[in-house]
Chains A and B, each alone.
Chain A
Amino acid sequence: MIRRVPMLVVLIVGTLAFGVADGAWLKNVPARDHQRTNPYQTQPDAVASGRRVFADHCAHCHGENAEGTKKRPPLRSLRVQQEATEGDLHWLLINGNMRKGMPSWSKLGDPQIWQVIAYVKSLHR
Protein backbone atom coordinates (compact mmCIF):
# COMPACT_ATOMS: atom_id res chain seq x y z
CA MET A 1 0.00 0.00 0.00
CA ILE A 2 2.84 2.40 0.97
CA ARG A 3 4.48 1.71 -2.39
CA ARG A 4 1.28 2.60 -4.18
CA VAL A 5 0.87 6.04 -2.55
CA PRO A 6 3.63 7.83 -4.54
CA MET A 7 2.29 6.33 -7.75
CA LEU A 8 -1.20 7.54 -6.86
CA VAL A 9 0.12 11.05 -6.13
CA VAL A 10 1.96 11.11 -9.46
CA LEU A 11 -1.18 9.94 -11.23
CA ILE A 12 -3.39 12.59 -9.62
CA VAL A 13 -0.88 15.42 -10.14
CA GLY A 14 -0.28 14.28 -13.71
CA THR A 15 -3.99 14.18 -14.47
CA LEU A 16 -4.54 17.63 -12.97
CA ALA A 17 -1.53 19.07 -14.80
CA PHE A 18 -2.71 17.59 -18.09
CA GLY A 19 -6.21 18.88 -17.51
CA VAL A 20 -5.01 22.40 -16.78
CA ALA A 21 -2.53 22.44 -19.66
CA ASP A 22 -5.08 21.07 -22.10
CA GLY A 23 -7.30 24.11 -21.80
CA ALA A 24 -4.54 26.60 -21.17
CA TRP A 25 -4.86 28.06 -24.65
CA LEU A 26 -8.19 29.63 -23.68
CA LYS A 27 -6.38 32.00 -21.32
CA ASN A 28 -4.18 33.22 -24.15
CA VAL A 29 -7.00 34.42 -26.36
CA PRO A 30 -7.01 38.25 -26.56
CA ALA A 31 -10.27 39.91 -25.49
CA ARG A 32 -10.89 41.25 -28.99
CA ASP A 33 -10.71 37.75 -30.48
CA HIS A 34 -12.75 36.26 -27.62
CA GLN A 35 -15.69 38.52 -28.49
CA ARG A 36 -15.76 37.80 -32.21
CA THR A 37 -18.92 36.19 -33.54
CA ASN A 38 -19.31 33.86 -36.48
CA PRO A 39 -20.38 35.80 -39.60
CA TYR A 40 -21.52 32.50 -41.15
CA GLN A 41 -23.78 31.61 -38.23
CA THR A 42 -26.95 32.73 -39.98
CA GLN A 43 -26.11 31.08 -43.28
CA PRO A 44 -28.15 27.90 -43.68
CA ASP A 45 -25.39 26.03 -45.55
CA ALA A 46 -22.59 26.85 -43.09
CA VAL A 47 -23.03 23.69 -40.98
CA ALA A 48 -23.14 21.35 -43.98
CA SER A 49 -20.12 23.05 -45.56
CA GLY A 50 -18.29 23.00 -42.24
CA ARG A 51 -18.97 19.29 -41.91
CA ARG A 52 -17.19 18.69 -45.23
CA VAL A 53 -14.16 20.75 -44.21
CA PHE A 54 -14.12 18.98 -40.85
CA ALA A 55 -14.15 15.55 -42.55
CA ASP A 56 -11.21 16.55 -44.76
CA HIS A 57 -8.96 18.18 -42.20
CA CYS A 58 -10.06 17.54 -38.62
CA ALA A 59 -11.72 14.10 -38.41
CA HIS A 60 -8.51 12.08 -38.58
CA CYS A 61 -7.38 13.55 -35.25
CA HIS A 62 -10.63 14.46 -33.49
CA GLY A 63 -12.74 11.56 -34.73
CA GLU A 64 -15.31 11.39 -37.50
CA ASN A 65 -18.04 12.61 -35.15
CA ALA A 66 -15.75 14.87 -33.11
CA GLU A 67 -15.80 12.34 -30.28
CA GLY A 68 -12.00 12.50 -29.91
CA THR A 69 -9.38 9.83 -30.44
CA LYS A 70 -6.76 8.12 -28.35
CA LYS A 71 -4.46 11.16 -28.22
CA ARG A 72 -6.64 14.05 -29.37
CA PRO A 73 -9.47 15.71 -27.45
CA PRO A 74 -13.18 15.48 -28.29
CA LEU A 75 -14.90 18.59 -29.61
CA ARG A 76 -18.21 17.74 -27.95
CA SER A 77 -16.71 18.59 -24.57
CA LEU A 78 -18.00 21.26 -22.21
CA ARG A 79 -14.88 23.31 -22.88
CA VAL A 80 -15.45 23.53 -26.62
CA GLN A 81 -19.23 23.72 -26.58
CA GLN A 82 -19.78 26.10 -23.65
CA GLU A 83 -16.59 27.63 -22.27
CA ALA A 84 -15.02 28.57 -25.60
CA THR A 85 -16.71 31.26 -27.68
CA GLU A 86 -16.76 31.17 -31.47
CA GLY A 87 -14.05 33.82 -31.36
CA ASP A 88 -11.89 31.61 -29.10
CA LEU A 89 -12.16 28.71 -31.54
CA HIS A 90 -11.34 30.99 -34.47
CA TRP A 91 -8.22 32.20 -32.63
CA LEU A 92 -7.20 28.59 -31.92
CA LEU A 93 -7.64 27.51 -35.53
CA ILE A 94 -5.63 30.47 -36.83
CA ASN A 95 -2.78 30.15 -34.31
CA GLY A 96 -2.85 26.46 -33.51
CA ASN A 97 -1.44 25.05 -30.29
CA MET A 98 1.79 23.73 -31.73
CA ARG A 99 3.33 22.51 -28.49
CA LYS A 100 0.29 20.24 -28.08
CA GLY A 101 0.27 19.05 -31.69
CA MET A 102 -2.52 21.30 -32.98
CA PRO A 103 -1.31 22.96 -36.21
CA SER A 104 -2.29 26.38 -37.48
CA TRP A 105 -5.08 26.24 -40.06
CA SER A 106 -4.68 29.76 -41.36
CA LYS A 107 -4.13 28.30 -44.83
CA LEU A 108 -7.83 27.39 -44.97
CA GLY A 109 -8.82 31.04 -44.91
CA ASP A 110 -11.46 32.71 -42.72
CA PRO A 111 -14.60 31.48 -44.55
CA GLN A 112 -13.75 27.77 -44.16
CA ILE A 113 -12.59 28.28 -40.58
CA TRP A 114 -15.91 29.93 -39.66
CA GLN A 115 -17.79 27.14 -41.45
CA VAL A 116 -15.97 24.52 -39.37
CA ILE A 117 -16.80 26.46 -36.21
CA ALA A 118 -20.48 26.58 -37.23
CA TYR A 119 -20.40 22.78 -37.60
CA VAL A 120 -18.55 22.13 -34.33
CA LYS A 121 -20.85 24.42 -32.38
CA SER A 122 -23.87 22.69 -33.93
CA LEU A 123 -22.87 19.40 -32.28
CA HIS A 124 -24.26 20.32 -28.85
CA ARG A 125 -27.79 20.76 -30.16
Chain B
Amino acid sequence: MNKGTVFRPEGLKFMRRVLALCLATGMLTTAHGNAQEPPYFVTYSHDMEEPGNLEISVKGVQGSPKYGNPFISQTIELEYGTQGWWTTELYLAGQHTSNDSTIFTGWRLENRFRPLFREHFVNPVLYVEYENVNAADRSLLEVTGHDSISDFLITNAQGRSKTERSLELKLILSSNARGWNISENFISEKDLNESDPWEFGYALGISRPLALAASRKDCVFCRENFAVGAELYGGLGDLNGFGLRATSHYAGPTIGFNIPRGPTVTFSPNFGLNDNSVGVLYRFQVSYEFQQIFGSHSRGK
Protein backbone atom coordinates (compact mmCIF):
# COMPACT_ATOMS: atom_id res chain seq x y z
CA MET B 1 0.00 0.00 0.00
CA ASN B 2 1.32 3.42 -0.88
CA LYS B 3 0.73 6.28 1.44
CA GLY B 4 -0.09 9.54 -0.25
CA THR B 5 -0.50 8.22 -3.80
CA VAL B 6 -2.20 10.38 -6.37
CA PHE B 7 -5.77 9.27 -7.04
CA ARG B 8 -6.10 8.10 -10.65
CA PRO B 9 -9.10 9.32 -12.58
CA GLU B 10 -10.36 5.99 -14.08
CA GLY B 11 -12.92 5.55 -11.34
CA LEU B 12 -14.11 9.12 -11.77
CA LYS B 13 -14.47 8.62 -15.52
CA PHE B 14 -16.59 5.53 -14.88
CA MET B 15 -18.66 7.45 -12.36
CA ARG B 16 -19.19 10.34 -14.80
CA ARG B 17 -20.36 7.94 -17.50
CA VAL B 18 -22.86 6.31 -15.15
CA LEU B 19 -24.13 9.68 -13.96
CA ALA B 20 -24.43 10.95 -17.53
CA LEU B 21 -26.39 7.84 -18.48
CA CYS B 22 -28.65 8.30 -15.49
CA LEU B 23 -29.30 11.97 -16.27
CA ALA B 24 -29.85 11.28 -19.97
CA THR B 25 -32.35 8.56 -19.10
CA GLY B 26 -34.10 11.00 -16.83
CA MET B 27 -34.33 13.65 -19.49
CA LEU B 28 -35.69 11.28 -22.13
CA THR B 29 -38.51 9.90 -20.08
CA THR B 30 -41.91 11.56 -19.83
CA ALA B 31 -42.76 10.31 -16.36
CA HIS B 32 -40.87 12.73 -14.17
CA GLY B 33 -39.44 11.81 -10.84
CA ASN B 34 -38.98 13.74 -7.67
CA ALA B 35 -38.47 11.40 -4.78
CA GLN B 36 -38.67 13.96 -1.95
CA GLU B 37 -37.11 11.54 0.49
CA PRO B 38 -34.81 12.43 3.37
CA PRO B 39 -31.24 12.95 2.09
CA TYR B 40 -29.73 9.94 3.87
CA PHE B 41 -27.02 7.59 2.61
CA VAL B 42 -26.92 4.94 5.32
CA THR B 43 -30.04 5.56 7.40
CA TYR B 44 -33.44 4.32 6.23
CA SER B 45 -36.63 6.18 7.04
CA HIS B 46 -40.14 4.70 6.94
CA ASP B 47 -40.82 6.27 3.55
CA MET B 48 -41.51 3.41 1.17
CA GLU B 49 -41.35 3.52 -2.60
CA GLU B 50 -44.77 4.30 -4.03
CA PRO B 51 -46.42 1.14 -5.44
CA GLY B 52 -45.52 0.66 -9.11
CA ASN B 53 -42.68 3.19 -9.05
CA LEU B 54 -39.08 2.27 -9.84
CA GLU B 55 -36.27 4.42 -8.50
CA ILE B 56 -32.81 4.05 -9.97
CA SER B 57 -29.95 5.47 -7.95
CA VAL B 58 -26.24 5.69 -8.42
CA LYS B 59 -24.53 5.93 -5.06
CA GLY B 60 -20.86 6.71 -4.73
CA VAL B 61 -18.39 6.97 -1.92
CA GLN B 62 -14.82 8.19 -2.15
CA GLY B 63 -12.24 7.77 0.60
CA SER B 64 -8.51 7.88 1.20
CA PRO B 65 -7.73 5.58 4.10
CA LYS B 66 -4.56 6.24 6.05
CA TYR B 67 -1.79 3.84 4.88
CA GLY B 68 -4.07 2.60 2.10
CA ASN B 69 -4.86 3.50 -1.48
CA PRO B 70 -7.66 5.97 -2.27
CA PHE B 71 -10.80 4.30 -3.60
CA ILE B 72 -14.08 5.19 -5.22
CA SER B 73 -17.02 2.84 -4.93
CA GLN B 74 -20.16 2.84 -7.08
CA THR B 75 -23.43 1.18 -6.21
CA ILE B 76 -26.39 1.00 -8.54
CA GLU B 77 -29.62 0.70 -6.66
CA LEU B 78 -32.94 -0.40 -8.16
CA GLU B 79 -35.83 0.23 -5.78
CA TYR B 80 -39.34 -0.91 -6.63
CA GLY B 81 -42.59 -0.29 -4.76
CA THR B 82 -44.16 -3.74 -4.76
CA GLN B 83 -47.01 -2.69 -2.45
CA GLY B 84 -47.70 0.35 -0.33
CA TRP B 85 -46.22 -1.57 2.63
CA TRP B 86 -43.50 -3.51 0.78
CA THR B 87 -40.44 -2.21 -1.06
CA THR B 88 -37.87 -4.35 -2.86
CA GLU B 89 -34.33 -3.30 -3.75
CA LEU B 90 -31.44 -4.73 -5.71
CA TYR B 91 -27.91 -3.35 -5.30
CA LEU B 92 -25.00 -3.93 -7.66
CA ALA B 93 -21.64 -2.72 -6.36
CA GLY B 94 -18.18 -2.16 -7.76
CA GLN B 95 -15.13 -0.13 -6.87
CA HIS B 96 -11.91 1.29 -8.19
CA THR B 97 -8.82 1.45 -6.01
CA SER B 98 -5.96 3.66 -7.03
CA ASN B 99 -2.76 1.75 -7.91
CA ASP B 100 -4.82 -1.43 -7.98
CA SER B 101 -7.82 -2.30 -10.17
CA THR B 102 -11.53 -1.79 -10.87
CA ILE B 103 -13.74 -4.69 -9.90
CA PHE B 104 -17.34 -5.77 -9.40
CA THR B 105 -17.75 -6.55 -5.72
CA GLY B 106 -21.17 -8.16 -5.49
CA TRP B 107 -24.90 -7.74 -5.07
CA ARG B 108 -27.51 -7.36 -2.40
CA LEU B 109 -31.23 -8.10 -2.42
CA GLU B 110 -33.31 -6.33 0.17
CA ASN B 111 -36.95 -6.15 1.21
CA ARG B 112 -38.56 -3.66 3.55
CA PHE B 113 -41.92 -4.26 5.17
CA ARG B 114 -44.10 -1.81 7.01
CA PRO B 115 -46.10 -3.87 9.56
CA LEU B 116 -48.39 -1.04 10.72
CA PHE B 117 -50.58 0.35 7.98
CA ARG B 118 -51.18 3.74 9.58
CA GLU B 119 -48.94 6.64 10.47
CA HIS B 120 -47.85 6.70 14.12
CA PHE B 121 -45.55 8.87 16.20
CA VAL B 122 -42.84 6.22 15.64
CA ASN B 123 -43.21 4.01 12.57
CA PRO B 124 -41.43 0.66 12.51
CA VAL B 125 -40.18 -0.96 9.31
CA LEU B 126 -38.63 -4.44 9.10
CA TYR B 127 -35.68 -4.84 6.76
CA VAL B 128 -34.32 -8.17 5.47
CA GLU B 129 -31.31 -8.35 3.17
CA TYR B 130 -29.24 -11.11 1.59
CA GLU B 131 -25.73 -10.07 0.60
CA ASN B 132 -23.32 -11.76 -1.76
CA VAL B 133 -20.30 -9.46 -1.76
CA ASN B 134 -16.59 -10.02 -1.61
CA ALA B 135 -14.17 -8.61 0.94
CA ALA B 136 -13.06 -5.90 -1.51
CA ASP B 137 -16.46 -4.22 -1.24
CA ARG B 138 -16.13 -0.54 -0.35
CA SER B 139 -19.73 0.56 -0.71
CA LEU B 140 -20.13 1.25 3.04
CA LEU B 141 -23.88 0.95 2.89
CA GLU B 142 -23.70 0.18 6.59
CA VAL B 143 -21.06 -0.24 9.27
CA THR B 144 -21.39 -3.22 11.59
CA GLY B 145 -19.38 -5.23 14.11
CA HIS B 146 -15.71 -4.35 14.19
CA ASP B 147 -15.53 -2.93 10.64
CA SER B 148 -12.51 -0.64 10.59
CA ILE B 149 -9.97 1.15 8.45
CA SER B 150 -7.91 -2.05 8.23
CA ASP B 151 -10.61 -3.53 5.93
CA PHE B 152 -9.45 -1.05 3.27
CA LEU B 153 -5.82 -2.13 3.39
CA ILE B 154 -6.22 -5.43 1.55
CA THR B 155 -5.66 -5.52 -2.21
CA ASN B 156 -8.50 -6.12 -4.62
CA ALA B 157 -7.03 -9.52 -5.51
CA GLN B 158 -7.04 -10.55 -1.85
CA GLY B 159 -10.53 -9.22 -1.24
CA ARG B 160 -11.95 -10.77 -4.37
CA SER B 161 -10.93 -14.25 -3.31
CA LYS B 162 -13.17 -14.14 -0.26
CA THR B 163 -16.91 -13.97 -0.88
CA GLU B 164 -19.18 -13.21 2.03
CA ARG B 165 -22.75 -14.39 1.97
CA SER B 166 -24.59 -12.78 4.81
CA LEU B 167 -28.02 -12.06 6.17
CA GLU B 168 -28.75 -8.58 7.42
CA LEU B 169 -31.73 -7.55 9.52
CA LYS B 170 -32.64 -4.02 10.46
CA LEU B 171 -35.25 -2.48 12.68
CA ILE B 172 -36.06 0.92 11.25
CA LEU B 173 -37.85 3.40 13.48
CA SER B 174 -38.84 6.68 11.92
CA SER B 175 -41.00 9.73 12.58
CA ASN B 176 -42.24 12.64 10.48
CA ALA B 177 -43.21 15.64 12.59
CA ARG B 178 -43.49 19.33 11.69
CA GLY B 179 -41.47 18.78 8.54
CA TRP B 180 -38.66 16.98 10.34
CA ASN B 181 -37.76 13.36 9.74
CA ILE B 182 -35.99 11.53 12.55
CA SER B 183 -34.88 7.96 11.85
CA GLU B 184 -33.09 5.34 13.92
CA ASN B 185 -31.83 2.03 12.50
CA PHE B 186 -30.65 -0.94 14.56
CA ILE B 187 -28.62 -3.31 12.40
CA SER B 188 -27.66 -6.96 12.89
CA GLU B 189 -25.67 -9.01 10.41
CA LYS B 190 -24.64 -12.68 10.21
CA ASP B 191 -22.04 -14.14 7.90
CA LEU B 192 -23.64 -17.35 6.63
CA ASN B 193 -20.33 -18.88 5.48
CA GLU B 194 -18.47 -18.84 8.72
CA SER B 195 -19.21 -19.33 12.36
CA ASP B 196 -18.70 -15.64 13.07
CA PRO B 197 -21.10 -14.25 15.65
CA TRP B 198 -23.91 -11.81 14.85
CA GLU B 199 -22.58 -8.29 14.34
CA PHE B 200 -24.39 -5.12 15.27
CA GLY B 201 -24.50 -1.52 14.13
CA TYR B 202 -26.60 1.62 14.19
CA ALA B 203 -27.50 4.56 11.98
CA LEU B 204 -29.26 7.77 12.99
CA GLY B 205 -30.54 10.52 10.73
CA ILE B 206 -32.37 13.81 11.01
CA SER B 207 -33.47 16.01 8.13
CA ARG B 208 -35.84 18.74 7.05
CA PRO B 209 -36.69 20.53 3.78
CA LEU B 210 -35.64 24.19 3.77
CA ALA B 211 -39.29 25.19 3.18
CA LEU B 212 -42.41 23.15 3.85
CA ALA B 213 -44.98 24.94 1.69
CA ALA B 214 -44.79 24.71 -2.10
CA SER B 215 -44.27 27.82 -4.19
CA ARG B 216 -47.00 29.10 -6.46
CA LYS B 217 -44.89 28.92 -9.62
CA ASP B 218 -42.46 26.39 -11.04
CA CYS B 219 -38.95 27.10 -9.88
CA VAL B 220 -35.73 25.14 -9.76
CA PHE B 221 -33.95 26.77 -6.86
CA CYS B 222 -36.94 27.19 -4.53
CA ARG B 223 -36.18 26.41 -0.92
CA GLU B 224 -38.68 23.52 -0.86
CA ASN B 225 -36.50 21.66 -3.38
CA PHE B 226 -33.64 21.44 -0.90
CA ALA B 227 -33.42 19.26 2.19
CA VAL B 228 -30.64 19.33 4.75
CA GLY B 229 -29.82 17.00 7.58
CA ALA B 230 -27.18 15.00 9.38
CA GLU B 231 -26.26 11.35 9.80
CA LEU B 232 -24.38 9.39 12.44
CA TYR B 233 -23.58 5.68 12.03
CA GLY B 234 -21.16 3.03 13.19
CA GLY B 235 -20.53 -0.43 14.58
CA LEU B 236 -21.60 -1.83 17.92
CA GLY B 237 -19.39 -4.90 18.10
CA ASP B 238 -20.72 -8.43 18.00
CA LEU B 239 -22.42 -11.04 20.13
CA ASN B 240 -19.10 -11.87 21.84
CA GLY B 241 -18.24 -8.27 22.53
CA PHE B 242 -21.11 -5.81 22.30
CA GLY B 243 -20.12 -2.16 22.60
CA LEU B 244 -17.98 0.56 21.09
CA ARG B 245 -14.55 -1.08 21.57
CA ALA B 246 -12.64 -1.49 18.28
CA THR B 247 -15.45 -0.09 16.17
CA SER B 248 -15.62 2.72 13.62
CA HIS B 249 -18.03 5.63 13.51
CA TYR B 250 -18.89 8.41 11.08
CA ALA B 251 -20.95 11.60 11.18
CA GLY B 252 -21.63 14.40 8.76
CA PRO B 253 -24.07 16.88 7.29
CA THR B 254 -26.06 15.99 4.21
CA ILE B 255 -27.85 18.02 1.57
CA GLY B 256 -30.33 16.90 -1.07
CA PHE B 257 -31.59 18.81 -4.13
CA ASN B 258 -34.79 17.65 -5.81
CA ILE B 259 -34.58 19.01 -9.33
CA PRO B 260 -38.19 19.56 -10.43
CA ARG B 261 -39.21 16.93 -13.00
CA GLY B 262 -35.68 15.58 -12.82
CA PRO B 263 -33.31 13.62 -10.65
CA THR B 264 -32.49 14.11 -6.99
CA VAL B 265 -28.86 14.88 -6.21
CA THR B 266 -27.51 14.28 -2.71
CA PHE B 267 -24.10 14.97 -1.20
CA SER B 268 -22.54 14.39 2.18
CA PRO B 269 -19.05 14.50 3.65
CA ASN B 270 -18.81 11.92 6.45
CA PHE B 271 -16.10 12.44 9.04
CA GLY B 272 -14.47 9.52 10.83
CA LEU B 273 -14.89 9.90 14.57
CA ASN B 274 -12.03 7.71 15.79
CA ASP B 275 -8.76 6.14 14.68
CA ASN B 276 -10.54 3.05 13.35
CA SER B 277 -12.43 5.18 10.81
CA VAL B 278 -11.39 6.63 7.46
CA GLY B 279 -10.69 10.36 7.89
CA VAL B 280 -13.33 11.65 5.46
CA LEU B 281 -15.73 9.85 3.15
CA TYR B 282 -17.34 11.87 0.38
CA ARG B 283 -20.73 10.46 -0.51
CA PHE B 284 -22.86 11.44 -3.49
CA GLN B 285 -26.01 10.08 -5.07
CA VAL B 286 -28.11 10.73 -8.14
CA SER B 287 -31.52 9.11 -8.14
CA TYR B 288 -34.43 9.16 -10.54
CA GLU B 289 -37.92 7.83 -10.09
CA PHE B 290 -39.85 6.24 -12.95
CA GLN B 291 -43.48 6.45 -12.02
CA GLN B 292 -45.94 3.58 -12.48
CA ILE B 293 -43.51 1.59 -14.57
CA PHE B 294 -45.34 -1.75 -14.39
CA GLY B 295 -48.55 -0.43 -12.93
CA SER B 296 -51.60 1.57 -13.85
CA HIS B 297 -49.81 4.49 -15.39
CA SER B 298 -52.07 5.99 -18.02
CA ARG B 299 -51.16 9.70 -17.88
CA GLY B 300 -54.78 10.72 -17.67
CA LYS B 301 -56.13 9.08 -20.75
Contacts and interface: CB of A to CB of B under 8 A. Distances in A.
Interface string A83-125: 0000000000011111111111011111110010000000000
B118 A95 contact: yes
A95 B292 contact: no
A60 B292 contact: yes
A111 B212 CA distance: 6
Nearest to B118: A95
A52 B222 CA distance: 13
Interface string B80-110: 0101110000000000000000000000000
A69 interface: yes
B121 to A, nearest CB: 11
Interface stretch (B15-23, B46-54, B191-199, B240-248): B46-54
A49 interface: yes
The size class of the interface chain A forms with chain B is: 35 or more
A39 to B, nearest CB: 11
A78 B111 CA distance: 38
A49 B181 contact: no
A50 B300 contact: no
B114 A106 contact: no
B300 A64 contact: yes
B63 to A, nearest CB: 30
A71 B295 CA distance: 9
B84 A96 contact: yes
Interface centre among B48, B179, B213, B217 (most CB of A within 10 A): B213
A103 B31 CA distance: 18
A104 B48 CA distance: 9
B296 A107 contact: no
Interface in B276-301: 291-292, 295-301
B50 A103 contact: yes
A74 B237 CA distance: 52
Contact of A52 (B31, B117, B214): B214
Nearest to B45: A107
Interface of A: 40, 45, 48-50, 52-53, 56-57, 59-61, 63-65, 67, 69-72, 94-104, 106-112, 115
Given A40-B213, A106-B119, 11 more contacts: A48-B216, A49-B214, A59-B300, A63-B300, A71-B296, A99-B84, A104-B119, A106-B176, A107-B45, A112-B212, A112-B214
18 contacts: A40-B213, A45-B216, A49-B215, A50-B214, A57-B36, A60-B31, A60-B292, A60-B297, A60-B299, A64-B300, A69-B296, A69-B298, A95-B119, A96-B118, A96-B119, A98-B114, A109-B209, A112-B213
Q: Enumerate the 3 nearest inter-chain pairs by beta-carbon distance, A residue then B residue, closest first.
A: A98-B84, A71-B296, A111-B213
